Amino acid sequence: MKNPLLKPKGLPVFNSIQASHVNDAVQRTLEKMRSKLVKAETSTTPSFQTAEEMERIQDSIHQVWGPISHLNSVISTPELREAYNKCLPMISEFGTELAQSEKLWAMFSQLEKDTDPSYTAKRQLISHTLRDFKLAGVGLPIESKNKFKELVKTLAQYQASFEQNLMDATDAFKHHETVKAALVGIPYMMLSRAKELAEKEGKIGWLFTLDPPTYQAIMAHAENENLRSLYYKAWVTRASDQGPQAGRWDNRVLIEKIVRLRHESALLLGFSNYAEFSLATKMANSTKEVLTFLQELAEKSRPVAQTELDELEAFAERRLNPWDISYFSEKLRQSRFGLSDNELRPYFPLPTVIAGLFVVAEKLFGIKINSQNNVETWHPDVIYYEIFSDEGSPIGGFFADLFTRPNKRGGAWMDECLVRCELEGLSQRPVAYLVCNFNPPSNSDPALLTHDDVVTLFHEFGHALHHLLTEVDYPSISGINGVPWDAVELPSQFLENYAWAPEVLPLISGHYLTGKALPTETLTTLNASRSFQAGLAMIRQIEFALFDFKLHAEYDPTQGSLTEEILENIRNEVTVMKVPTFNRFPNTFSHVFGGSYAAGYYSYKWAEVLAADAFSAFKDSGIFDEETARRFRSCILATGGSREALDNFQDFRGRLPSLDPLLIQDGILTKETINS
């Protein structure tokens, strides 16, 4: 039988793909692409055709690997996971070979000189490729090159150990409780889980773990302050020299090593610190720009955060400790807004939300979205939609897989199925995967969403529009590809605003039994709740972002990482809540020490500022203003990574980004404060 993964281009034939096809398809494709790569490397005259050939090679690999990795996320089986894990190193190895090809690097360097600067997308493609060659260490003297490879390898090991320590420390903590009175307030679901766990271990009472949902539930709902304080201490001392497991999995030494090796690798590539290395692929231009950005946000938010804390203490009628904040915040939220998920769900049946979401997209971008039932999917829940222009020409499509089920990865995301491409021998329209984990419908009722779910759906759909409305011909810079990390959340966070807009809520809501729209008071309360404690949340994120950034920007090998000093200084300047001396937050900061957010955690806030500022253009002219939407589509969505993100933004907004719209959205600034 033919291998369905090796079929000619087009939509994958999901139903025919078996785990047994994976290895064969990957090996054969890589072999074929390797020989194409060698051929490209030996071509004597550098021309843009070589760049196009690289695009085709990478797309061919995506055509095979994309469906495999997608299926492994949405309908995983042990066989598929095994096949996936077996092939992953082969795929990465090919990526490394490509990224470290000296011959291609020389060719692209020549191409850069030969290419007419007015071909923006071509120039961008070449400059991105050259940048990635540089970041992979191509062109270094052999000794430095080997050292660089060694550093990258060791760093990966240290980061994995950091994660492992954190996981072991988290898993090892258990709290056994036998007196029911000690557990008042904790949600029923959490209690029954704890009871089951106790039974499993042959204990009476309740046994609690330290996974994030348990931790959050105890912090937000447990009336018993001793329990909250015990949990707080366990959480903030994981993998450290403090707390219930002091010294067992201490990450402190690893932090030191990781920061040092990052610094060394950045120096080898010609940067003066690791923060500069991180910014080489981001929209922010300099370390100074990022620090000023964060400090300015902090300065404006701090007084509001202080007021929010004062209000909370007044509400609690006492001074609060860190383990009291979530608990009293939850109580204050209830007393102020009284909105519960259960009250809102009936108003957001999924079919109504989807129909409203499509109306929003159609109104904004003049597109038409239709479902298609003759397209092969991987599960009966999945629906395929096609997108057309207002003149009826096809633009692309997307698969929506929205319900939770066993063997499906949690969370929500957008991924690429097919990437837009217009090259000789390869012409293809973009197709996206839109994946969520909502509660499925029952036999009698449709799926009912919380408002958080609705916001998530809009967010992911914003990513999908970025992918689908691209007009770029080269896959590596079309859609979300090539868009810097600190700008890629712009369209998704932008679209979230529509899930809150008073003009949109009637379109996306309707009681599933009566069809009645969301009552006006509920709508108003919902909107008011959006900025609840936004100052405290902002300050918290800024503390993390500043710590991450300064640690990498100010590293001096003669002094070490100065982790504690940096954090203390930031807290003195920024934070409003005093942090206990036993708190070892850095030892648990896996985004930065285990993951790939190093000197990049600020990206969350950066993109939020861009999104709020872009949306504010619509606030001035009307949220469905045709002209503004047309410009948003052409400047941001259609262009994507084919131009500098700042140019795209300035083109749309007519000026540099401003912090004010986000601060207004969060209720931190009022229009009056800005004008005064």
Q: Which residues of 425-442 are buried (b: 16+ CB within 10 A; e: fewer)?
A: ebebbbbbbbbbbbeeee
Q: For the chain, how far is it from start to end, CA to CA, in angstroms?
A: 74
Check: CB of residue 337 under 8 Å from CB of residue 522: no
CA 15 and chain centroid, separation: 29
Nearest approach, Cβ of residue 607 and Zn ion (Å): 9
* CB nearer to Zn ion: pick between 451 and 467: 467
* CB nearer to Zn ion: pick between 298 and 464: 464
Stretch that binds Zn ion, among 234-242, 289-297, 490-498, 518-526 (CB under 5 A): 490-498
Check: CB of residue 190 under 8 Å from CB of residue 217: yes
Supply the Cα-derived Rg of the chain in whole angstroms: 26
* CB nearer to Zn ion: pick between 133 and 461: 461
Q: What share of the chain is helix, strand, coil (3-state, %, to 5)?
A: 60, 10, 30
Nearest approach, Cβ of residue 525 and Zn ion (Å): 27
- Residue 492 touches Zn ion, criterion: CB under 5 A: yes
Stretch that binds Zn ion, among 4-12, 23-31, 492-500, 606-614 (CB under 5 A): 492-500
Stretch that binds Zn ion, among 92-100, 284-292, 491-499, 528-536 (CB under 5 A): 491-499
Nearest approach, Cβ of residue 604 and Zn ion (Å): 10
* CB nearer to Zn ion: pick between 94 and 485: 485
Nearest approach, Cβ of residue 640 and Zn ion (Å): 15
Check: CB of residue 148 under 8 Å from CB of residue 140: yes
Check: CB of residue 479 under 8 Å from CB of residue 466: yes
CA distances from 310 to 81, 306, 324 (A): 51, 6, 13
Residue 31 a catalytic site member: no
Sign of CA pseudo-dihedral 49, 50, 54, 57: positive
48-67: contacts with Zn ion (CB under 5 A): none
- Residue 456 touches Zn ion, criterion: CB under 5 A: no
318 C-beta neighbours (distance < 10 Å), count: 10
Q: Which residues of 225-264 are buried (b: 16+ CB within 10 A; e: fewer)?
A: eebbebbbbbbbbbbbebbebeeebbbbebbebbbbbbbb
Stretch that binds Zn ion, among 202-210, 253-261, 489-497, 549-557 (CB under 5 A): 489-497
Nearest approach, Cβ of residue 414 and Zn ion (Å): 7
* CB nearer to Zn ion: pick between 309 and 483: 483
* CB nearer to Zn ion: pick between 375 and 537: 537
Nearest approach, Cβ of residue 412 and Zn ion (Å): 8
Stretch that binds Zn ion, among 174-182, 238-246, 488-496, 571-579 (CB under 5 A): 488-496
* CB nearer to Zn ion: pick between 173 and 602: 602
Closest by CA to 395, choosing from 416, 369, 373, is 369
Stretch that binds Zn ion, among 178-186, 273-281, 487-495, 529-537 (CB under 5 A): 487-495
Q: What is the largest CA-CA distance in the chain?
A: 80
Count residues binding Zn ion (CB under 5 A). 1
* CB nearer to Zn ion: pick between 430 and 510: 430
Give dist(CA 154, CA 310) in Å, integer: 47
**Residue keyed to tokens 């090998």:** 557
Tokens for 585, please give them: 């937050």
* CB nearer to Zn ion: pick between 457 and 553: 457
Give dist(CA 361, CA 460) in Å, integer: 13
Catalytic residue (choose from 55, 460, 489, 543): 460
Nearest approach, Cβ of residue 460 and Zn ion (Å): 7
Give dist(CA 586, CA 590) in Å, integer: 8
640 C-beta neighbours (distance < 10 Å), count: 28
Give dist(CA 474, CA 560) in Å, integer: 44
- Residue 603 touches Zn ion, criterion: CB under 5 A: no
Nearest approach, Cβ of residue 479 and Zn ion (Å): 14
631-650: contacts with Zn ion (CB under 5 A): none
Nearest approach, Cβ of residue 523 and Zn ion (Å): 25
Q: What is the contact surface with Zn ion in residues (CB under 5 A)? A: 492
Q: Which residues have a catalytic role annotated? A: 460
